[in-house]
Structure 1
Amino acid sequence: MEGVEEANKNDFKSSQSVSLQQWSQWQLFDSILPTGGFAHSLGLEAAMQARLVVSPEDLKTYVIHLLDNTGSLLLPFVYTATISPDTQTWHKLDRLLNAMLTNEIGRKASTAQGSALMRVSASVFSEIPCLKTMRNAALSSGAVFFHHAPVFGLVCGLLGFDAETTQRAYVFVTMRDVISAATRLNLVGPLGAAVLQHQVAPIAESLSTKWMNRDAGEACQTCPLLDTVQGCHGYLFSRLFCS
């Protein structure tokens, strides 16, 4: 009987540990986490001022193209960092992505969000002390750019996410942020934004599946026009967002 009781206690502790881990995982995607994502429109503000997005249908098309480009260019970095959440892989991916991002606005947005995510994660998820160690070492070396996609994959990998969930989460966060930006730009109302997000969800799943589980060496741009438009953000006469 004592053996059975001990086994039951161990099972309970294991179940409790998994449950607590889920709370940390959910917090990572909570919009209240101060990572700075809502300061960026992912090129939407520039696209609106360039008259490329003027209607709800244009907005939906833009969101779909953005998610496709996110899948083709950034999911490989998220995937590789998730399956190998270590310092060497992270630094290699960070340097590679810095070389691949072709416009200065997008590059700065990526490093700003990635740096914020790493700072917040190192402070919040204290049960993973290596996050703080890795961040401090990177800051000391001065050789790390802290691009968002590799940091996202790294943190998710250390929090126990599987690769598929992490990649879907990255696409979801991108969709959430750009639709939030559309709301603040008065392209769509709050209810319309919720409807749009629900409508795009099946397409987001299809695109996630399409680009899922690819090595960083396979990363590519599928919508170069979006990259060009985002690069024009710095020339806008007035702007609400950083990018």
Structure 2
Amino acid sequence: MNSNSPSQTTALPTLGFADEWLMWQLADSAFPTGGFAHSGGLEAAVQTGAVPDVAALEAFCRVSLTQLARQSLPLLRAVHAEPERLPTVDRQCEAMLSNHVANRASRSQGRALLLAAERAFAHGRPAVGRLRDRVRQERLPGHLAPLFGAVAAAMGLDGEASARLFTFTATRDLISAAVRLNVVGPLQAQALQHALGEAAAAAIAHAPVDAMEAASAAPVLELLQARQDRLYSRLFHS
């Protein structure tokens, strides 16, 4: 058979493109996970004067990346590698997030992700549909990091690609919040997001793999997050 025939030249690229297409859809800001309703503590940091300018914003983003890599990625990776561990890891996340604002935000986004994934992808991927039933039946908290790992595994996404996607969307949401808080303009925000790429890659590379090694790496960030409910006026839930 001719090596340039359609049956040989399109089989493998079609599979790769399908995976990329799914990744792009999950990374799209139109995918309704609820992330844009949260600032990850940035709003409180701005109002208390901890983030007065772009330089401070970049430092805040870098600390947030470290916190995400040390606290959330080990939970995501554990569930992605062994989806049956979801109840244990989800309850571990519930115990770790003693900060009530961060805990509430994580549960809200986790459940929004699960609902969006079920509505968008359950057809042809029954494992995605079963996830929501499991969370409801076992009365799990439904935190974002472990559910992201479970959803990604159910859709056949690679583990490290899932970790990169999770890190990208969290950073994108944080920088979007900075734009809406008038800390930075849209074009400068894109330059900042690009500049954070190496820091994000390093954070992912050095993140613990074992869920039992997950821990908070930024106590000041947690204190700022906890102040959200005490702000006189606010745009975000967290």
Aligned to 1:192: 188
Secondary structure at the counterpart of residue 50 of structure 2: coil
Cα contact 1:21–1:159 (8 A) shared by 2:
no
* Aligned residue number for residue 137 of structure 2: 140
* Corresponding residue to 1:130 among 123, 127, 135: 127
Shift of 1:14: 5.4
Amino acid in the other structure paired with 1:124: A
The structure 1 segments of at least 4 consecutive aligned residues displaced by more than 4 Å after TM superposition are 8-15
Contact residue 128 and residue 155 of structure 2 kept, 8 A: no
Structure 1 residue runs of 5 or longer lacking an equivalent are: none
Q: Distance in 1 between matches of 2:41 and 2:27?
A: 21
Residue of structure 2 equivalent to 1:32: 30
Shift of 1:199: 1.2
Letter in 1 for 2:174: V
Distance 2:180 2:232 in 1: 18
Structure 1 segment 89-168 matched on structure 2, within 5 A: 89-125=85-121, 126-141=123-138, 143-168=139-164
1:209 pairs with 2:205: yes
Calculate percent identity across the aligned residue pairs. 35
Distance in 1 separating the partners of 2:220 and 2:31: 31
User: Alpha-carbon deviation of 1:190?
Assistant: 0.2
TM-score (norm 1): 0.91
Q: 1:25·1:159 contact (CA, 8 Å) conserved in 2? A: no
Match of 1:161, SS state, is coil
Asked if the contact 1:122/1:132 (under 8 Å) is kept, the reply is yes
Q: CA deviation at 1:160?
A: 2.2
Give the superposition deviation at 1:15: 4.5
Alignment of 1:6-25 (within 5 A): 9=7, 12-13=10-11, 15-25=13-23
User: More deviation in 154-163 or 115-124?
Assistant: 154-163
CA displacement, residues 84-140 of structure 1 (integer Å, 9 cap, x when unaligned): 2x3x31111110000001211000000000000001101111221121122123223
Superimposed CA distance per residue, residues 56-111 of structure 1 (whole angstroms, 9 cap, x where no aligned partner) = 11100000000001100001011111212x3x311111100000012110000000
Deviation at 1:25, TM superposition (A): 2.5
Specify the code of the residue in structure 2 equivalent to 1:237: Y
Moved more, 123-132 or 16-25: 16-25
Match of 2:214 among 209, 219, 226: 219
Of 187-196 and 18-27, more deviation after overlay is shown by: 18-27
How many residues get paired? 236
Deviates more, 1:225-234 or 1:125-134: 125-134
Which amino acid letter does the alignment assign opposite residue 117 of structure 1? L
**Relative to structure 1, is the Cα distance of residues 230 and 195 closer, same or farther in structure 2, using a 3 angstrom cutoff?**
same
What is the RMSD computed on CA atoms of the aligned residues?
2.0
The one-letter code sitting in structure 2 at the alignment partner of 1:74 is S
Matching residue's letter, 2:94: N
> Paired residue for 2:54?
56
Give the whole-Å Cα distance in 2 for the aligned partners of 1:114 and 1:132: 15
Q: 1:41 corresponds to which residue?
A: 39
* Kept after mapping to 1: 8 A contact 2:71/2:215: yes
3-state SS in 1 of match to 2:196: helix
> For the residues of structure 2 that align with 1:185 and 1:152, how far apart are their CA atoms?
27
TM-score (norm 2): 0.92
